[in-house]
Amino acid sequence: MITIEKLKKSFGSQEVLKGINLEFQRPGITAILGPNGSGKTTLIKSILGMVLPDKGRIRVGGEDVKGGWAYRRQIDYLPQIARFPENLTVQELIRMIRDLRGGRPDAEHLIRRFGLGPFLGKRLGNLSGGTRQKANIVLALMYDSPVLILDEPTSGLDPVAMLRLKELLRQEKEKGKHIIVTTHIMGFVEEMADEVVFLLEGHIHFQGGLQELKEKYGANSLELAIARILQQEELGFKANGHGEKAAALVLKAL
């Protein structure tokens, strides 16, 4: 469904993605993990055409992302920070997105699932962070597209909303969708992800199943496996005389 070849992206002199090769062929949930600043959002935005790569090729459903736009109809996207005019009500916002995207979205079942009914007439500026996030989830998922890209979807959600989101994602997965998620909540990944991609210093350090990751690093939890990846990096850096860089890397990941 999605193929990424030799993807490179720099911002000024900072090389963020240094030749990424990735494939999302099987439906299911893939978690993209990595320390802050490792390039997760840059990678996601490259798929969406919101960041223009310097080199490499991305194809979605066979269509080259470069210069293409029709492929975007196949993707629903929940950004990490969604900004909309604060004076719009939730209902107005849903209508606005529907008018912009067209088609026949089904927001009703999502509004019910996340208990958003009482908030439909409230202005975005007056909502709590969690309620805003629920509204963003409704906007992102109401189109039922085959690919879902969710950047930190659990952000601000209370435990009930978190359960509802997990149920929803399981159902979407059952429909055969490709779901790509970034999150810092390791419990969420352990419970939900079929596959993990670990980004570090602009490279893919690991792509595979959770169990495979744990076995590879002799760890009984995802957290420990990640700590071990970072430790190995640290040792590598030390051997190359970059101890300070390694320490900074580990601190960033904590």
Of the two residues 131 and 182, which places its CB atom closer to ligand ADP in the complex? Answer: 182
Question: Is 106:144 a contact under the CB 8 Å cutoff?
Answer: yes
Shortest separation between residue 139's beta carbon and ligand ADP, angstroms: 21
Instruction: Based on the shown chain and the rule CB under 6 A, indicate whether residue 130 belongs to the binding site for ligand ADP.
Output: no
Number of residues lying near ligand ADP (CB under 6 A): 10
- Residue 61 carries which DSSP code? T
Phi, psi (5° rounding) for residue 141? -100, 0
23, β-bridge pairs: 3
- Residue 238 one-letter amino acid: K
Instruction: Based on the shown chain and the rule CB under 6 A, indicate whether residue 10 belongs to the binding site for ligand ADP.
Output: no
| One of 38, 133, 136, 154 touching ligand ADP (CB under 6 A) | 38
Shortest separation between residue 218's beta carbon and ligand ADP, angstroms: 26
| One of 33, 39, 157, 253 touching ligand ADP (CB under 6 A) | 39
d(CA 31, CA 40) in angstroms, rounded, equals 10
Structure tokens at 182: 């970034």
Instruction: Based on the shown chain and the rule CB under 6 A, indicate whether residue 16 belongs to the binding site for ligand ADP.
Output: yes
d(CA 7, CA 155) in angstroms, rounded, equals 28
Instruction: Based on the shown chain and the rule CB under 6 A, indicate whether residue 11 belongs to the binding site for ligand ADP.
Output: yes
Residues that bind ligand ADP (CB under 6 A): 11, 16, 34, 36-42
